Amino acid sequence: MKRLVILGSTGSIGTQALDVAQQLGYPIVALAAHSNTALLEQQIRQFHPRAAALFDEAAARDLRTRVRDCDVEILSGMAGLCELASREDADVVLNSVVGMVGLLPTLAAMRAGHDVALANKETLVAGGELVMGIAREKGVRLLPVDSEHSAIFQCLQGTRQGLWTPPQSSDALGIHRLILTASGGPFFGKTAEDLKTVTVQDALRHPNWSMGQKITIDSATMMNKGLELIEARWLFDVAPENIDIVVHRESIVHSLVEFDDYSVLAQLGMPDMRIPIQYALTWPERYVSPVQRLDLAAMGKLTFFKPDDAAFPCMSLCRRALQQGGAYPAAVNAANEVANALFRQEKISFPRIAELIAAALERPLSPVHTEQDILAVDEACRAYTRELVK
């Protein structure tokens, strides 16, 4: 039994994590979200956390009034999130907030000595080196929730070193290559020309996964796979040139590891995030889960394709960000967060998202060492991207 803090509890991952926690009988010590007062109130009444937080101050005040009859402390702002993340009565902090705003709470949890189940990939994209360094220093684990990274993590169990978790060094594991699978999103097969006229509604129609809006758009641009490439580079300590991406339309093979002898291990299952969420929480144990079981004969066939870098340039832009190193991964993430939101507001076209990300790579940026450096780069790149659109 592990006591959980869930940040981003009102989101797609957060609500599924609460489902999983309930099935497992894991107690919830704290919950946090941005401003969804109604759902957080409902979760407080159902799961009885000792504390909860809303990032938005006004929403937090409203929540405090609504739950006056409950024995729960209500916090607000980034300070509130970080306080929940570092609570002494927690065993694992599941970070499923969306965006690079998750960086400070992740750091707070690790500095308090907690293992972090990480769905919030932007944290590792913007601050991978710093985050992994602190995990090593503090001796805490990063348990991947992202399905591809969970698949790789699962393939790395039972190596000659025994059970493996990041941030252990992966040097001795004999990894030759990681292969990330990508669904290809709603626009698989479309050309750069076709993509000029796609709408927000088209982009939000993901074929296999039901997810929050930001990551659904990231899947349509395939920026999601670029972000995951950076996430994998840090989580598994594998050089980017040894990380491949393959399009797999059915989302059944969640990713693969090729070892030095060219033996390849893969993890398969139905596309249901409750599998990786549960594994991150129960590792190294496995328990029965409520998800549909895989029936390969019913699937018939599984298909694999080379990604189309010309129509979907975001993957190569993320590779370039890693090559340029330093602040550039944080810069492409910031440009993407802004561009993704502007596209959803119908202020820019779909291909403009990649153009704005490319622009972030052209600017001279100083190296980043601390979280303050990363936050400063993030802020400056957001402002620059907004300026370009004006």
Residue nearest to Mg ion (CB): 146
21 binds ligand NDP (CB under 6 A): no
Candidate list 4, 5, 8, 343; residue touching ligand NDP; CB under 6 A = 8
The least distance separating ligand NDP from the CB of residue 7, rounded to whole angstroms, comes to: 6
CB nearer ligand NDP, residue 34 or residue 114: 34
The least distance separating ligand NDP from the CB of residue 160, rounded to whole angstroms, comes to: 30
Contact code string over 98-137 relative to ligand NDP, x by CB under 6 A: xx-x-----------------xxxx---------------
**Coil vs helix vs strand at 161:** coil
Evaluate the CA torsion angle 32, 225, 135, 174 in order and state its sign: positive
Count of residues binding Mg ion (CB under 5 A)?
3
Element (H, E) at 55: none
CB nearer ligand NDP, residue 146 or residue 308: 146
User: Which one of Mg ion, ligand NDP, none interacts with residue 209, CB within 5 to 8 A by kind?
Assistant: ligand NDP
**Coil vs helix vs strand at 71:** coil
CB nearer Mg ion, residue 146 or residue 258: 146
CB nearer ligand NDP, residue 159 or residue 272: 272
226 binds ligand NDP (CB under 6 A): no
Task: Report in angstroms the alpha-carbon separations of 348 from 188, 222, 227, 389.
Answer: 21, 17, 21, 8
Strand partners, 162: 159
φ/ψ of 28, rounded to 5, equals -105, 120
204 binds ligand NDP (CB under 6 A): no
Let me know if 301 is exposed, middle or buried by CB neighbors in 10 A (0-12, 13-18, 19+). exposed
Let me know if 237 is exposed, middle or buried by CB neighbors in 10 A (0-12, 13-18, 19+). middle
User: Which one of ligand NDP, Mg ion, none interacts with residue 121, CB within 5 to 8 A by kind?
Assistant: ligand NDP
Q: 290, 274 in Cβ contact below 8 A?
A: yes
Candidate list 97, 195, 238, 353; residue touching ligand NDP; CB under 6 A = 97
Q: 338, 386 in Cβ contact below 8 A?
A: yes
The least distance separating Mg ion from the CB of residue 235, rounded to whole angstroms, comes to: 12
122 binds Mg ion (CB under 5 A): no
Task: Report in angstroms the alpha-carbon separations of 205 from 121, 187, 212, 219, 220.
Answer: 21, 9, 12, 10, 9
267 binds ligand NDP (CB under 6 A): no
The least distance separating ligand NDP from the CB of residue 149, rounded to whole angstroms, comes to: 9
373 binds Mg ion (CB under 5 A): no
255 binds ligand NDP (CB under 6 A): no
User: Which one of ligand NDP, Mg ion, none interacts with residue 103, CB within 5 to 8 A by kind?
Assistant: none
CB nearer Mg ion, residue 224 or residue 385: 224
Angle between helices 77-85 and 103-111 (to 10 degrees): 40
Nearest to 289 by CA among 24, 5, 3, 16: 24
Cβ-based neighbours of 298, under 8 Å, separated by 6 or more: none
The least distance separating Mg ion from the CB of residue 223, rounded to whole angstroms, comes to: 12
Q: Which stretch binds Mg ion (CB under 5 A): 123-131, 139-147, 188-196, 283-291?
A: 139-147
CB nearer ligand NDP, residue 173 or residue 211: 211
Residues 134-163 that bind ligand NDP (CB under 6 A): 146
* Residue that is written with structure tokens 């220093």 in the block: 137
The least distance separating ligand NDP from the CB of residue 161, rounded to whole angstroms, comes to: 27
CA distance 60 to 75: 7
211 binds ligand NDP (CB under 6 A): yes
Cβ-based neighbours of 165, under 8 Å, separated by 6 or more: 141, 142, 143, 153, 283
Tally of CB atoms within 10 A around 117: 30
φ/ψ of 52, rounded to 5, equals -150, 160
Count of residues binding ligand NDP (CB under 6 A)?
30
Q: State the residues that interact with ligand NDP by CB under 6 A.
A: 8-14, 32-36, 55, 81, 96-99, 101, 119-122, 146, 209, 211-212, 214-215, 273
